[in-house]
A and B are shown apart, each in its own frame.
Chain A
Amino acid sequence: MGGPVIKEISFKLNGRPVSCPVDTRLTLLDLLRDSFRLKSPKRGCDETVCGACAVLVDGRGICSCTMLAVEVEGSEVVTLEGLGSEEEPNPLQRAFVELDALQCGFCTPGQIIGATSFLLSLGEEEVSEEEVREAMSGNLCRCGCYDNIIKAVIRTAEVVRRGEWKLR
């Protein structure tokens, strides 16, 4: 039995360049949670269905539970920790709180990453409710906050469209 294979990787994490040795079997989720102690991505299903582990990789929301850590070599990774703070929440985070788009909060980091990924992809047009529902369908919420999540995302999309919040 051979031991684990270790590889050195470098990438950008929440705006900072980082490098570290990783076990090649390690998922991005475990790397973020266990090595970098960033606990916002949650383990929900381990199979790319629930979206609780979502992070942004080069501006796109992906499930970190099924991406290998070695795959982020050279990429830019953003977790919820990199997106606004308790003192200065961004408009999306404020909308989530004000409209009660969360209950237990476990899926919330993934919901906000998923919504951010959607907002980053927006053009000039107004978004429809159907479009938002479709975009958010990869983030499950068992507490059943969909109604309020959709409202929060639509409200923020409008803020982005009006140019009042620049994501990039």
Chain B
Amino acid sequence: MSGSYVEVEERLRSYPRVDGLKKVTGLAKYAADWDFEDLLYGRVIKSSIPHGLVKGVDTSEALKVRGVRAIVTCLDDQTIWNAGERFHRRRVFTDHVRFLGDIIGAVAAESRFDAIKAAGLVKVEYQEYPGVFNVEDAMKPNAPQIWEDGNVRGPLITNYGDIEGDFARADLIVEAHYRTSRVANAQMEPAASLAWWDGDRLTVIAATQSIFGCREGIARDLGLPLEKVRVITQYKGGGFGNKASSMNYDLIAAILAKRTGRPVLVELSREEEFSLVHGRWSTDQHLKAAVTREGRVLGVKLKAYCDVGAYTRHVGKFVEGPEVYYSTTSWSSEVYVVYTNTPPTGHMRAPTGPQSCFAAESLMDEIAHKLRINPVDFRLRNAVIRAHNTLRLTSNGLRDCLQVGAEEFNWYERWREPPEDPSKLNDTVKGVGVAIGAWHSRVGRGEARLSLGQDGSLKLYVGVVDIGTGAKTTMALIASRHLGIPLERIEVTWGDTDLVPYSIGESGSRTTSFTGNAVKEAALKLKRQILVAASRLTGMDEDRLEIRGGRVVSRDGRVSLDLGEVVRKAGAEEFQAFASTEQGLGEDEERLSFAAHFCEVEVDSETGEVKVKDYLAVHESGEIVNLLTAESQVKGGVTMGIGMSLTEGLIISPQDGSPLNGNFMTYRIPNATQVPRIRVKFVEVEDPYGPKSLGEVPIVPVLARIGNAIFNATGVRLRDLPFSREALLRGMGRL
């Protein structure tokens, strides 16, 4: 059988990244690192009002700046950027300004100085409209309309089971209100794109998470056939969802390059990254649960409002997730999506995950406390068996995560009831918390090509871009394992639509599953070819031969052939294999990855400072391909979740809707002193579709878990994110 030689110990070994040395020596080339003698620098022209119509644009002063080569504005370019947006057609250069800084045009110039100066000299005349900067104002009947079809979308409904019946037969109804704030993806590499034309063919060096999604979007929006667009992404400095598919700055670079006939680099500054590129939307969630005396949650009602800013690129339900990881018999969600004259929102690592989990998992903790049930036991009692109470899970290690974690963390020894009276606390107090979470583990389409040369080296062609997930290494490992060829003999080609077959790209935690399955399939095809050829050469039956360490060997030890020799003796230049795979779930199936996180927090009862201490993350993501990089993904998600819990929150100006803390000085992402050691443990459960998702799920339970630990330490329940010292001190009667 395929991969039968793969021993468990072998599978669980850790492999450093194949591109690690490029990254530690500065050789890894990011979009803005490409060199061109005749490069022009692009700069966007931004609106100076939050809401209104552009009546006129005067570029005469800007054009006088030495070095300016082109200025393009909403008056002379109508390109629509609608990749990923199924709701509104958004123009690249807008004449309807919907938030402060909305892009009206762009400049290309010989130097950064010239570009900045010229962009600042463009004069725009507006017809101003009043703006709305929060959900409440935007929902008022006479509110200024941001979109022709209104400011509110929804209610978006999720419903299953007999919700009213469950509420009628409940022993107890528990309700609470939670709020989560806007947060920024804040990946280290600010948005950048470099484009040039060779005749009618466009090449874009994009900082994208998906070269094929990016190519498709650019081709559609510029009206080009797919083969006229080439997208290259060698290295990319993170994205966490905001560089998926084609972005407006890719189109701006392409448009400026067309106008000037030269390569143009468009880079956004960090502050522009905060205000022009989307982050996570805020939520305001009211939850109500119907519970039995024994601690069974029968049903949950949820009503939520999301501030999605002037534009959003998310197309799902905006608050969703928990309805699939509890075994309730009913659920009812009603979600309102509200547009405001504030910066755009869209995908960020598990788009709906952490904020939805925060509310539900905090509420579960509140219920457990009311019923005096240990939080781990309460979750074991309510963890999902069938998603939506009907769909069969392809695999489910959620209970294992809880049990393994409780044991490893020594939970039952360390957990105690929270203090009765928070106002009596002194000095530093400690507490422990737990939370569970899950995320989609989708299946789908992937492609991969392999070629084995006369020197026995293997070339692997995959359409991944590797944004830090370690996808190149993972793909090479899958080929290595199924072929029996050592990792160091595999060369990966990636990140160029002209050179590699299709891949979904690094979003939605899909690469290992989608593209990984194609790599496995291609590897098995190639293996068959090799063994058939070797059988012919040696006269031995195929089933007595196998590949080990890059050699074809017979089980009796008499044959040992180098793979290159097999190719040469077969009279071939190379052996090639291509696979295109597509998986789909059955109608009655759901596929999820699971996590249970445990931690200890220390709270300074004088200052309200919260320190996250001992952290244990237990995950079930099916088979783990590379333990080393898998652990890094989990640590990364936990770190980002700690930021969202304790320090991160975009503060929106009530005057003009702009972010007041749109820079790294005031928007605090965690540094090395704020993140504890993080222990990661994987529970491996076999899944019929192969490895499950991992990149997004680690951020899902973090916020609730920290909140639950703070409650356990202090007896104060914090329901607004980020958790503020003020709220905590107020809860302890200190303010």
Q: Interface residues, chain A, CB within 8 Å of chain B?
A: 4, 23, 25, 30, 33, 37-40, 42-47, 49-50, 52, 79-81, 83-86, 89, 93, 96-98, 100, 102-109, 112, 132-134, 136-150
Report chain A residues within 8 Å CB of B147.
none
B26 near A104 with CB under 8 A, answer no
Could you say which of B188, B235, B468, B629 has the most chain A C-beta atoms within 10 Å of its C-beta? B188
Could you say which of A45, A84, A140, A144 has the most chain B C-beta atoms within 10 Å of its C-beta? A144
Complex CA gap A103/B467 in Å reads 8
Report chain B residues within 8 Å CB of A134.
672-673
Once A140-B669, A142-B669 are accepted as A-B contacts, the answer to whether A106 and B632 lie under 8 Å apart by CB is: no
A-B pair count, CB < 8 Å, reads 178
Complex CA gap A105/B113 in Å reads 28
Report chain B residues within 8 Å CB of A143.
188, 238, 468, 632, 636
Chain A: minimal CB distance from B492 (Å): 15
B629 near A97 with CB under 8 A, answer no
Q: List which B327-346 residues lie within 8 A (CB) of chain A.
A: none
Report chain B residues within 8 Å CB of A96.
20, 23-24
Q: Which of B22, B28, B636 contacts A144 (CB 8 A)?
A: B636
Q: Does B267 have its Cβ within 8 Å of any Cβ on chain A?
A: yes
Report chain A residues within 8 Å CB of B665.
45, 47, 49
Q: Does B17 have its Cβ within 8 Å of any Cβ on chain A?
A: yes
Q: Interface residues, chain B, CB within 8 Å of chain A?
A: 14, 16-17, 19-30, 32-33, 35, 112-113, 185-190, 235-238, 240, 267, 269-270, 467-470, 628-629, 631-633, 635-640, 663-665, 669-673, 675, 677-678
Closest residue of chain A to B628 (Cβ to Cβ) is A100
Closest residue of chain A to B638 (Cβ to Cβ) is A144
Report chain B residues within 8 Å CB of A49.
663-665
B270 near A45 with CB under 8 A, answer yes
Could you say which of B26, B35, B665, B669 has the most chain A C-beta atoms within 10 Å of its C-beta? B26
Please name the 8 residue pairs, one residue from A and one from B, whose CB atoms are nearest each other, closest first: A106-B237, A40-B26, A144-B639, A104-B468, A105-B23, A103-B468, A144-B636, A97-B20
B25 near A93 with CB under 8 A, answer yes
Complex CA gap A85/B22 in Å reads 9
Chain B: minimal CB distance from A66 (Å): 12
B235 near A47 with CB under 8 A, answer no
Chain A: minimal CB distance from B134 (Å): 28
Chain A: minimal CB distance from B465 (Å): 10
B188 near A106 with CB under 8 A, answer yes
Report chain A residues within 8 Å CB of B35.
37, 39
Q: Which of B30, B240, B638 contacts A142 (CB 8 A)?
A: B240
A84 near B25 with CB under 8 A, answer yes
Once A23-B113, A109-B26 are accepted as A-B contacts, the answer to whether A148 and B635 lie under 8 Å apart by CB is: yes
A104 near B677 with CB under 8 A, answer no
Report chain B residues within 8 Å CB of A132.
672
A44 near B24 with CB under 8 A, answer no
Once A23-B113, A103-B468, A103-B469 are accepted as A-B contacts, the answer to whether A79 and B238 lie under 8 Å apart by CB is: no
Report chain B residues within 8 Å CB of A103.
238, 468-470, 632-633, 636
B16 near A142 with CB under 8 A, answer no
Chain B: minimal CB distance from A165 (Å): 15
Known: A47-B665, A136-B672. 20 other contacts (CB 8 A): A39-B33, A42-B237, A45-B663, A46-B269, A47-B270, A49-B665, A79-B26, A84-B25, A96-B23, A104-B237, A105-B23, A105-B235, A109-B26, A134-B673, A144-B636, A144-B638, A144-B675, A145-B635, A147-B635, A148-B632
A140 near B671 with CB under 8 A, answer yes
Report chain B residues within 8 Å CB of A108.
23-24, 28
Report chain B residues within 8 Å CB of A106.
30, 187-189, 235-238
Chain B: minimal CB distance from A78 (Å): 11
Closest residue of chain A to B633 (Cβ to Cβ) is A103
Chain B: minimal CB distance from A97 (Å): 4
Q: Which of B28, B190, B469, B669 contacts A43 (CB 8 A)?
A: B190
A104 near B236 with CB under 8 A, answer yes
Closest residue of chain A to B33 (Cβ to Cβ) is A39
B188 near A142 with CB under 8 A, answer yes
Q: Which of A50, A79, A102 contacts B23 (CB 8 A)?
A: A102
Q: Which of B20, B32, B33 contacts A102 (CB 8 A)?
A: B20
Q: Which of A46, A84, A145 contacts B632 (CB 8 A)?
A: A145
